[in-house]
Amino acid sequence: MNAELSAIELSIKEREDFIATKGKQKKQLRCDAESIAGCVSQRACVFCGARVVLNPITDAIHLIHGPIGCASYTWDIRGSLSSGTELYRNSFSTDLKEQDVIFGGEKKLARAIDELVAAYHAKLIFVYSTCIVGVIGDDIEAVCRAAMVRHHIKVIPVQSSGFIGNKSAGYRAACDSLLSLIHTEKKISKKPKSVNYLGDFNLAGEAWIIRDYLARIGVTVSTVFTGDASYEELKTAPAASLNIIQCAGSMAYLAKQMEELYHIPYLRISFLGIEDTAVTLRNIAEYFEDPEMQQKVEILIEEESRKVTDELSFYRKKLEGKKAAVYVGGGFKAISLIKQFREIGMEVVMVGTQTGQPDDYDTINGLVTEGTVVLDDANPAELEKFMIEQGANLLVGGVKERPLAYKLGVAFVDHNHERKHPLSGFVGAVNFAREVYSTVCSPVWRSIQMKTPWGE
Amino acid sequence: MSRKIEGVKNVNENPCNMCMPMGGILALKGIEQTMVVLHGSQGCSTYMRRHISQHFNEPIDVGSSSLNEKGTIYGGEKNLKQAFNNILRVYHPQMIGVLTTCLAETIGEDVERIAAEYLRENKLNYPIVTAPTPGYGGSHAEGYFFTVRRIVEGLAKKAEKNYKINIFVSNISPADIREIKRILDLMQVRYTLCPDFSDTLDRPYVRPYTKIPEGGTKLADIAEMSGALATVQMGMTVDESISPGEYLREEFGVPLYTIPIPIGLENTDIFIKLLQELTGGVIPLSLQNERGRLVDAMIDSHKYNFEGRSAIFGEPELVYALAGACIENGIMPLVVATGSKNSTLCTLVQDLSAEKGLDFIPEIVTESDFKEIRGLSVAKGVNVAIGHSDGHYLEEQENIPLVRLGFPIHDRIGGQRILSVGYTGTAMFLDRVTNTLLAAKQKSYRQTMYNKFYRGKEKSEVAKYELLRV
């Protein structure tokens, strides 16, 4: 260590309130606050949050108004699948340069929209604002309004300048854009036994799995927000009779607004893990007060469980007693992971999120055992410290966390938007267990324990 | 003759480049015990960390001043100083590199002043290197060289002659850097290579884990670069204003030799010959044999290669070296593209094509995107693409196989281990391209020939044959 640095005190006091050990502290964990400078937060920005939520809309042009980086780093990095067009897999940018920053980028944006409309004949364009757009004061609302008049299509601004908050603010910006997209003045005739499925991005076909389950119990899905969604489909959302909401971190706001505007009640649900999936299906049937549906649910649960029981119990035998650490984006994911680990006999010894809300942490606190470390907006140093201290055999996280786990000799499960296998429903529960098994029980961990030829 | 597409574009469709601070991070990761702070909103550092991490399969820690609305309006000084504090507390680095972002530059942050003030306030004599790298100011390629220049500007002091050679490498893989160092050692050259991320971005598995990886160019060595015998810079396409070698020449009179990245026979020859001239040393037999083996390999695969029609894309410096390597093997580059703004690349590739009297005319495009590269590749009948993995739509949607090379490699593992420099590295590169062409041919030729020539067999003919057999 550089001797010069002795003048600086060596711990980050400001982070202490964001970390708690169950059973030790009585105080409420701090969360939903701004990241502290220099702490190497794993969080992204407002723009990231907005793009995550909106990008799965397949027939939209996603145009990023800003310098090139924002479009580069978010191009086709997520595994949302489409049953139709692949337009959403392109990353369009106005590629602002120094001159645009000085003189403003509104005209360039308008020309970009014109060019894209001519080239792709899309009915829907999302225009994302980025940090500098917020600073140089481009009025993207006005540009979008004018373009709508010019082209008779929907051109929707997304207020996602990076610095105006954290990822959660981006979710909210995306939800505002979705509300403006589905807005209707017409009288709505409700479709009976139909739902909107909020907070599933159809990673590796997850929304398709759930659509199938729901079809089998006699429920139609009007639209999914936003996995494999299209413009026409999204517009049918106000007519649904129920909203079921999975990823609450990103979609709770939308559900509340839709309840107010279109009188659609909502149910918080989870299709992650056997237990949650069964509970969810039963809750939906109960909501519709339909005995026939309830019967169908039981048949489905029975059929699907039967298919996976043997494989799951094999993994459970192999994994019983292992310890997991969890660091993911939102509270919903963390909560369902704790339950899923329980299903395969594993205990969660560390759990944290980037954007969890106070009620998420309350739920987490209720689920985990004494001694589990709970932390909000963690950084690599904290993840390292607690993975080691808590003796974790496995970390669940995203791309940035993976190499850290590996460097510590800890197994890793990707629970991010890039994965190429579904984790939802009964089939997803098996995939999850299989992935945990494939990393925790890999022979590689034996090799790293071996003595080197030079005796270390 | 070759042509450069000019004119203002309003939309970039599927970018072929990244932004300035990205290159800056890569450069700073090659300096001993250094931490990086991005002055801007939290997302920039996270996105870039994710991108770099996926390529190298390494933990990439980069601090952020996490600018919020307040910082944006009233200035981010407080945030940046707090970031310094926290980085020093947790990482204990020997140096901090500060890169700005769009946001910081647009609100007019003077990071150099803030850094100086921070050091004064805390009575620290400590190296903080700053580089203004707004995302709109250029691509990651310029960000990389400019940051290397800023590092040298910040650290190099007037020094006694030390007869070492400064080697500035462009953004090549850790495996490439190790190969360059092996060659330098083979030729018994005393050198300072910068930035050296051969260990820091491709570190061995060792316990215990350290937050900042071992390795990187030593600060003390950079300080003495001013006393070197000469600077060798892999930077044919690098503008003087961002050239670290140019700075050392101007400021300290260190002679500058600019060479291409040693990929390809001729490009490697240039490197080896220059080293020999500068040091007066001998070229060891083992290296002579490596050259011989490369030439042998080139002959072995020349007919397969001459069927290759390539699209080459990526950072200007890499693209130029690859164009040379392709041309000398007959893998004719029909499309040569970069996302960066770089007219030197156009001139260089045009000159190269003219010098070699090519039968094919390369289309050279700068400030390009993958919409353009894809369109040109299809129109011109390209059958092999060479570049980073953002070109994967060529493969996925146009059936043009992609030989992955450069940065970033997202959809395959081992980007950090791809070796392409020197005689041996070139042979490995060439094998990858040749085998890709061979694989495509072997996969398709039966069907192709069938479609092209088979027009049905007369039933009677078959029957006759059957009769004869009986």
> Within the 391-430 window of chain A, which residues sit less than 8 Å (CB to CB) from chain B?
398-400, 402-404, 406-409
Report yes or no: B423 and B293 within 8 Å, Cβ to Cβ.
yes
Among A9-13, A241-245, B311-315, which is the least confidently predicted range? A9-13
Q: Do B92 and A5 touch (CB under 8 A)?
A: yes
Please check the confidence at residue B290 and state whether its pLDDT lies above 70. Answer: yes
The CB-side HSE value for B136 (13 A sphere, CA atoms) comes to 24
Contacts of A66 in chain B (CB under 8 A): 102, 135
Q: Which fold has domain A194-298?
A: Rossmann fold (3.40.50)
Q: Test A73 with B11 for CB contact under 8 angstroms.
A: no
Q: Which of B18, B49, B65 sits opposite A400 (nearest CB)?
A: B49
pLDDT at res. B461: 61
CB contact under 8 A, B209 and A384: yes
Least CB-CB distance to A93: which of B12, B134, B390?
B12
Structural domain boundaries in chain A: 46-182, 194-298, 320-419
The confidence score (pLDDT) of residue B459 equals 61
What is the helix (H) or strand (E) element at residue A227, kind and residue range? none
Inter-chain residue contact B59 with A403, CB threshold 8 Å: yes
Report residue B464's pLDDT band, with 50, 70 and 90 as the boundaries: low
Question: Min CA distance, A117 vs chain B (Å)?
Answer: 12
Percent of the residues in chain A that have a pLDDT greater than 90, as a whole number: 86
Contact A131 B103 (CB under 8 A): yes
Whether pLDDT at A80 is above 60: yes
What tens digit of pLDDT does each residue of B74-111 get? 899 999 999 999 999 999 999 999 999 999 999 999 99
Bridging pattern class, strands A19-21 and A373-376: antiparallel
The reply to whether A115 touches chain B by the CB within 8 Å rule is yes
* Token pair for A191: 């479709």
Contact A2 B83 (CB under 8 A): no
Both tokens of B288, joined, read: 């002579």
- Band of residue A13 on the pLDDT scale cut at 50, 70, 90: confident
User: Do the strands B12-13 and B402-404 form a parallel or antiparallel pair, or are they unpaired?
Assistant: unpaired
Range B193-209 average pLDDT: 96
Task: Count Cβ atoms below 10 Å from residue B466 Cβ, excluding itself.
Answer: 9
Q: Which of A11, A162, A403 sits opposite B89 (nearest CB)?
A: A11
Under 8 Å between Cβ of B310 and B391: no
| Residue A70: alpha-carbon gap to chain centroid | 19
Tell whether the model's pLDDT for residue B191 goes beyond 60.
yes
Residue B301 has what pLDDT? 98
State yes or no: pLDDT of B217 exceeds 90. Answer: yes
* Out of A132-146, B105-119, B449-463, least confident range: B449-463
Give A135-192 pLDDT, tens digit per residue. Answer: 999 999 999 999 999 999 999 999 999 888 888 899 999 999 999 999 998 888 889 9
**Contact check, Cβ <8 Å, A135/B84:** no
The nearest CA of chain A is from the CA of B348 a distance in Å of 25
Burial A221-246 (b: 16+ CB within 10 A, else e): bbbbbbbbbbbebbbbbbbbbbbbbb
Q: A456 in contact with B at a CB cutoff of 8 Å? A: no
| Mutation target among A90, A400, A412 for the B interface, most CBs of B within 10 A | A400
Chain A residues 219-278 with a CB less than 8 Å from chain B: none
State how far the Cα of B444 lies from the Cα of B406, in Å rounded to an integer.
28
pLDDT in tens, A386-439: 999 999 999 999 899 999 999 999 999 998 777 889 999 999 999 999 999 999
Beta strands in A14-153 (DSSP E): 19-21, 60-65, 92-93, 124-129
Residues A11, B69: C-beta atoms closer than 8 Å? no
Tell me the ipTM for this assembly.
0.94
Written as six digits, the tokens of A333 are 């994911």
Q: What is the pLDDT at residue A188?
A: 87
pLDDT score of A293 more than 90: yes
- Which residue in A65, A95, A418, A456 has the most chain B C-beta atoms within 10 A of its own C-beta, making it the best mutation to test that interface? A95
Inter-chain contact A403–B48, Cβ cutoff 8 Å? no
Interchain contact, B82 vs A38, CB within 8 Å:
yes
With CB atoms and an 8 Å threshold, state whether A40 touches B61.
Answer: yes
What does pLDDT average to over chain B?
95
**B40–A131 CB contact, under 8 Å:** yes
Chain-chain contact of B106 with A165 (C-beta, under 8 angstroms): no
User: What does DSSP assign to residue A326?
Assistant: E
β-strand partners of A200: A226
Q: Do domains A194-298 and A320-419 have the same CATH topology?
A: yes
Partner-chain residue, chosen from A7, A96, A448, that has the shortest CB–CB distance to B136: A96
Q: Which of B16, B33, B42 to mutate to test the interface with A (most CBs of A within 10 A)?
A: B42
Q: How many whole angstroms separate alpha carbon A160 and alpha carbon A176? A: 11
Say yes or no: A118 contacts chain B, CB-CB below 8 A: no
**Nearest to B271, CA basis, from B255, B258, B254, B256:** B258
CA B182, CA B311: separation in Å to the nearest integer? 30
Torsional sign, CA A378, A380, A382, A385: positive
**Inter-CA distances, A46 with A49, A257, A340, B66, B158, Å:** 5, 20, 29, 12, 46
Q: Between chains, do A45 and B89 touch, taking CB under 8 Å as contact?
A: no
- The domain A320-419: what is its CATH number? 3.40.50.1980
Domains and CATH numbers, chain B: 20-148 (3.40.50.1980), 165-281 (3.40.50.1980), 289-438 (3.40.50.1980)
Residues A122, B319: Cα–Cα separation, whole Å: 35
Are A328 and A341 a contacting pair, CB within 8 Å?
no
Q: Please, which residues have CB within 8 angstroms of residue A368's CB and are 6 or more apart in sequence? A: A22, A338, A348, A351, A374
Q: How confident is the model at residue A3 (pLDDT cuts 50, 70, 90)?
A: very low
| Chain B contact present for A129, CB below 8 A | no
Q: Residue B136 and residue A97: Cβ atoms within 8 Å?
A: yes
What pLDDT score does A437 carry? 98
CATH for the stretch A46-182: 3.40.50.1980
B19 → closest Cβ in A42, A68, A90? A68
**Residue A85 near chain B (CB below 8 Å):** no
| Amino acid letter, A54 | L
- Tell me if B123 and A7 make a contact (CB, 8 A cut-off): yes
Residue B313, strand partner residues: B337
Question: Alpha-carbon distance A328 to A351, whole Å?
Answer: 8
- Which residues 6+ apart lie within 8 Å of B365 measured at CB? B4, B5, B335, B336, B337, B338, B372, B373, B376
* Contacts with A35 from chain B: Cβ below 8 Å: 42, 64, 66
